[in-house]
């Protein structure tokens, strides 16, 4: 028995996560994640700036799915104000959110396979992701930490270049996904490393509040886009991929399938994209939210992201709570990694798709 410190600087922890492992040879007796190395206290920052000034902060929490995070924050403020963004803005939000979801899953795909010792898929995934980043850069001006959504709409409209580019991307990405299927998913070594490894039951997901691909890989069709519909998702036709096995392969397959579903959503949203303004007309210049507390949840790339705000009627939030999916997803690592071998635990850690700033906030 010995203690092994995995991290805070370790190639498999994607950032600065530390896992304190009590090992028996290569078997893990207890693996206790020690987060907090890049804690930035975003929630306190929220109490020190106005509602609008806090908006860019939310995109820095999970830098890989910034669109979803700003969506949740913008959504909660709109909910409190009773604002309704125009339909064109809602459709563009859906398109950009889903593009962001694909780009986030592509980073996960590359990084996950890097954890498993496969180097090449990373470059292929980043190649595809680059196309999304270029598209989003064209309309938002940022490549990663987008601050595109505004209370009541968007900061600017999309142009034809973006619409055409998104259509081309959908057509380009479909064959790429089937290429990943044959090159990566069907690889026998990958199958051996993922099938039956790192089992997470649906009950564990519920007890720990794990969401996103983790709970869907355990056979529960929980998706915030369905159960707490927001934006124009109810008008769009898409499936929630669910795999009941609960192993790392199930989570892998959920994410791969989700990319295909996101493409479907983008395609439909592009086809229906209405004309009109992208900003609601009645947005007040100085935001003062009615007192009370409000929640708004979105399905981010890693799972359920909820913003809970408490307003005392002032220009500055009284309290902002960011409920991040990686935090809950990581909290079940200690229980599920017990008795695993070190490389299997790495596979499990990778299949949770952690973004450490998202855990630490």
- Chain residues 197-226 in contact with other proteins, contact rule CB under 8 A: 202, 205-210, 215, 220, 222, 226
Name the one range near other proteins by CB under 8 A: 96-104, 159-167, 268-276, 314-322: 314-322
Whole-number Å distance between alpha carbons of 132 and 278: 21
Q: Of the ranges 8-16, 54-62, 133-141, 250-258, which one interacts with other proteins (CB under 8 A)? A: 8-16
CB of 139 to other proteins, least distance (A): 27
**Residue number, 95 or 232, with CB nearest to other proteins:** 232
Question: Does residue number 28 form part of the binding site for other proteins (CB under 8 A)?
Answer: no
User: Is 302 among the residues that bind other proteins (CB under 8 A)?
Assistant: no
Stretch that binds other proteins, among 94-102, 233-241, 253-261, 311-319 (CB under 8 A): 311-319
CA distance 203 to 181: 30
Residue 176 Cα distances to 39, 169, 184, 185, angstroms: 37, 10, 11, 13
Residues 178-197 that bind other proteins (CB under 8 A): 187, 189-190, 192-193
Other CB atoms within 10 Å distance of the CB of residue 194: 25
Closest separation in Å from C-beta 244 to other proteins: 14
Residues 230-289 that bind other proteins (CB under 8 A): none
R_g of the chain computed on alpha carbons: 20
Cβ-based nearer residue to other proteins, 270 or 342: 342
Is residue 289 within 8 A of residue 209, CB to CB? The reply is no
Q: Which of residues 46-105 bind other proteins (CB under 8 A)?
A: 47, 76, 79, 82
Nearer to other proteins, 120 or 161 (CB): 120
Q: Sign of torsion, CA 26 27 32 36? A: positive
* DSSP letter (8 states) at residue 260: H
The reply to whether 338 sits near other proteins by the rule CB under 8 A is no
If one counts every other C-beta atom within 10 angstroms of the C-beta of residue 214, the result is 29
Cβ count within 10 A of residue 47? 14
Residues in a beta bridge with 27: 24, 341
Strands in 2-6's sheet, in edge-to-edge order, are 2-6, 18-24, 27-34
| Position 346 contacts other proteins (CB under 8 A) | yes
Q: Tokens for 188, please give them.
A: 């026998």
Closest distance between other proteins and the C-beta of residue 271, in Å? Answer: 27
Specify the residue, 141 or 313, whose C-beta has the smaller distance to other proteins.
313
Residue 116, both tokens? 């498993």
Contact 323, 62 (CB under 8 A): no
- What φ, ψ does residue 305 adopt, rounded to 5°? -115, 125
Q: Residue for token digits 């036709």? A: 237
Kindly state whether residue 358 participates in binding other proteins, applying the rule CB under 8 A. Answer: no
What does the block give as tokens for 38?
A: 């890049």
Using the rule CB under 8 A, is 227 a contact of other proteins? yes
Least distance in angstroms from the C-beta of 76 to other proteins? 7
Q: Which residue among 31, 61, 92, 113 contacts other proteins (CB under 8 A)?
A: 113
For other proteins (CB under 8 A), the number of binding residues is 78
Query: Taking CB under 8 A as the rule, does residue 19 contact other proteins?
Result: no
Tell me whether residue 166 or residue 251 sits nearer to other proteins (CB atom): 251
Out of 128, 327, 337, 351, the only residue in the binding site for other proteins (CB under 8 A) is 327
Rule CB under 8 A: say whether 144 interacts with other proteins. no
For residue 327, which phi and psi values (nearest 5 degrees)?
Answer: -60, -50
Nearest distance, CB of residue 66 and other proteins, angstroms: 21
| Residue choice 106, 269, 287, 306 for contact with other proteins (CB under 8 A) | 306
The dihedrals phi and psi of 223, each to the nearest 5 degrees, come to -145, 125
């Amino acid at each position: 028995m010995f203690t092994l410190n995995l991290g805070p600087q370790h190639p498999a922890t994607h950032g600065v996560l530390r896992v304190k492992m009590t090992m028996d040879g290569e078997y893990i007796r207890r693996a206790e994640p020690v987060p907090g190395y890049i804690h930035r206290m975003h929630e306190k920052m929220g109490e020190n700036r106005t509602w609008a000034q806090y908006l860019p902060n939310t995109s820095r929490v999970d830098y890989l799915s910034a669109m979803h995070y700003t969506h949740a924050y913008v959504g909660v403020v709109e909910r409190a104000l009773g604002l309704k963004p125009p339909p064109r803005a809602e459709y563009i939000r859906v398109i950009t959110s889903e593009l962001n979801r694909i780009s986030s899953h592509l980073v996960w795909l590359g990084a996950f396979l890097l954890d498993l010792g496969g180097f090449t898929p990373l470059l292929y995934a980043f190649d595809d992701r680059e196309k999304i980043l270029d598209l989003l850069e064209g309309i938002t001006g940022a490549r990663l930490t987008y601050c595109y959504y505004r209370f009541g709409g968007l900061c600017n409209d999309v142009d034809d270049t973006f619409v055409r580019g998104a259509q081309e991307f959908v057509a380009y990405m479909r064959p790429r996904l089937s290429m990943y299927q044959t090159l990566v998913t069907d690889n026998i070594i990958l199958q051996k490393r993922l099938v039956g490894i790192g089992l997470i039951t649906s009950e564990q997901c519920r007890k720990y509040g794990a969401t996103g691909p983790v709970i869907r890989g355990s056979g529960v069709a929980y998706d915030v886009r369905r159960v707490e519909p927001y934006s124009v998702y109810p008008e769009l036709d898409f499936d929630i991929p669910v795999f009941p096995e609960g192993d790392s392969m199930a989570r892998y397959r959920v994410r791969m399938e989700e990319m295909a579903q996101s493409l479907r959503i983008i395609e439909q949203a592009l086809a229906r994209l209405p004309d009109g303004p992208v900003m609601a007309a009645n947005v007040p210049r100085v935001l003062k939210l009615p007192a009370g507390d409000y929640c708004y949840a979105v399905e981010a790339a890693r799972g359920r992201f909820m913003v809970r705000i408490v307003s005392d009627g002032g220009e500055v939030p009284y309290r902002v709570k960011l409920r991040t999916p990686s935090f809950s997803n990581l909290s079940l690592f200690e229980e599920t990694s017990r008795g695993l071998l070190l490389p299997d635990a790495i596979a499990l850690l990778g299949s949770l798709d952690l973004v450490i700033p998202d855990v630490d906030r």
